[in-house]
Amino acid sequence: MKGARAKSPARRAPVGSPAGVRGPKPPGGAPDLRVRIGSLELENPVLSASGTFGYAFEFQQHLDLNRLGAIVVKTVTLKPRPGNPPQRIVETPAGMLNSIGLQNVGIDRFIAEKLPALRRLRPPLVVNIAAESAEEFCELAKRLSDQEGVRALELNISCPNVAGGLDFAIDPLLTSRVVGAVRRVTPLPLIPKLSPNVTDITTIARAAVEAGADALSMINTFIALAIDVRTRRPKIAMGTAGLSGPAIRPIAVRMVWQVARAVNVPVIGMGGIASVEDALEFLIAGATAVAVGTANFVNPGVLEQLVDGLGAFVTEQRLSSVRELIGSVQLPPRGQT
């Protein structure tokens, strides 16, 4: 019963849909790739995924940073963090495990050393923050709300690699508490990043939205374990680690599809995107934008290639804009799956 329904009944006009975009179409017949995430109007739906793009400038010789839809930088914490001991990464089939441990210079040095250059870039800057408590999250949010050039906050409530539990997103109540607390202290759009390591991600998603999330980033890495059979020890020093890369993509697409139907805020889809087709899958599943993570390591120019590729697809398919794709997946009627 292919194509029995033109649109999924659960699909509502997402916030990132055509109504959300103002302003004239791009000139010269260029494909319209604009999307909207909360109050952010993005030139295109291609973002960097936090923790895989450094502070952006590491990549500037490989692509034009100004062509990205938005730039999401590496997690910032209140205090500097040295990160986890090596081994921190290991390759696995079609992906990799990482346990970096949120190595970062801390909020003071981020504001003093990284932000001045970042705020000069054209794409909106999304700063990813992580903390051990709702109070710490609020302090970070307040500090960053005062900074020119910070356009949104991504709340890393799902890091699987830090001892002491920064994994708020495995529990709807903890999620709600953190998101709600930060909501009260900042006017910036809030984008909690959800964990896939849960039984029902829609429960967490709803809790985040009810607490005031403007959009959802999903997903973070899967908790995983690789063992060296000779030493019988984990290949990663800390034991378990986060699995990313193409290996997780179909699960991520499924989760994005589930959540996009369950909430009325835009979803930023990520998990193993390495090609234009991969990005399209997420959009069609219901994501308003996509973020690329692990593929940046293998192909540091991939983000710009995706911007070009999405444009070419919109043109080739004679779409009025990329927004036509969002959530357009054609599903067989219930009961026939």
Partner 1 sequence: MRATVLTNREFLPRYYLMRLHVPRFPPAFSAGQFVMVRPAAVGDPFLPRPFSLMRSAPTHRAARGGGGGRGLGDGAEIEIVYRALGRGTTLLSTLGRGSVVEAMGPLGGRGFRPTAGPAILVGGGVGIPPLVALAESLAAAPRRGRRPRPPTPDPRPQVLVGGRTKQDVLGVADFRRAGCRVQVATDDGSLGRRGLVTDLLETALGKTGNGNEGRRPTVYACGPEGMLKAVHRIALAADVPCQLSLEANMACGFGGCMGCAIPVRGEGMGAYKLCCKDGPVFDARELRW
**Residues with catalytic annotation?**
159
User: Among the candidate windows 54-62, 132-140, 144-152, 310-318, which touches partner 1 by CB under 8 A?
Assistant: 54-62
User: Contact with partner 1 (CB under 8 A): which of 86, 116, 239, 333?
Assistant: 86
Rule CB under 8 A: choose which of 34, 36, 88, 143 binds partner 1.
88
Q: Minimal distance in Å, beta carbon 178 to partner 1?
A: 25
Rounded-to-integer distance, Cα 99 and Cα 238, Å:
7
CB of 82 to partner 1, least distance (A): 5
φ and ψ at 335, to 5 degrees?
Answer: 95, -15
Rounded alpha-carbon distances, angstroms, from residue 335 to 67, 127, 285, 305, 331: 43, 43, 19, 39, 11
CA atoms within 13 A on the CB side of 31: 21
Nearer to partner 1, 87 or 133 (CB): 87
Report the residue from 5, 12, 13, 58 that binds partner 1 according to the rule CB under 8 A: 58
Q: Does 90 bind partner 1 (CB under 8 A)?
A: yes
For 176, the token pair is 């709600």
Residue placing its CB nearer to partner 1 in the complex, 13 or 298? 298
Task: Assess 59 for contact with partner 1 (CB under 8 A).
Answer: yes
54 contributes a contact to partner 1 by CB under 8 A: yes
Q: How far apart are the first and last CA of the chain?
A: 10
| Min CB(220)–partner 1 separation in Å | 16
Site for partner 1 in 4-33 (CB under 8 A): none
Encoded one letter per residue, x for contact with partner 1 by CB under 8 A and - for no contact, window 285-324 reads ---------x-xxxxx------------------------
**Closest distance to partner 1 from the beta carbon of 61 (Å):** 9
For partner 1, the closer CB: 58 or 135: 58
Count of all residues that appear for the chain in the document: 337
The amino acid present at 24, given as its one-letter code, is P
Is residue 89 at the binding interface for partner 1, with CB under 8 A as the rule? Answer: yes
- Binding status of residue 221 toward partner 1 by CB under 8 A: no
**Do 154 and 128 form a contact (C-beta atoms < 8 A)?**
yes
Of 268, 226, 256, which Cα lies nearest the Cα of 243?
Answer: 226
For residues 309 and 124, give the distance between their C-alpha atoms in angstroms, rounded to a whole number. 21
Rounded to a whole number of angstroms, the minimum distance from the CB of residue 276 to partner 1 is: 15
Compute CA distances 219 → 23, 75, 143, 249, whole Å: 31, 15, 26, 10
d(CA 70, CA 82): 27
Among 83, 149, 212, 309, binds partner 1 (CB under 8 A): 83
Q: What is the signed CA dihedral for 326, 289, 313, 60, rounded to 10 degrees?
A: 180
Please pick, from the candidates 3, 24, 28, 82, the single residue that binds partner 1 as defined by CB under 8 A: 82
Strands 190-193 and 150-156, bridge-based pairing: parallel
Residue 142 DSSP SS3? helix
Give the footprint of partner 1 on this chain (CB under 8 A): 52-54, 58-59, 74, 82-91, 93-96, 98, 100, 103, 245-246, 274, 294, 296-300
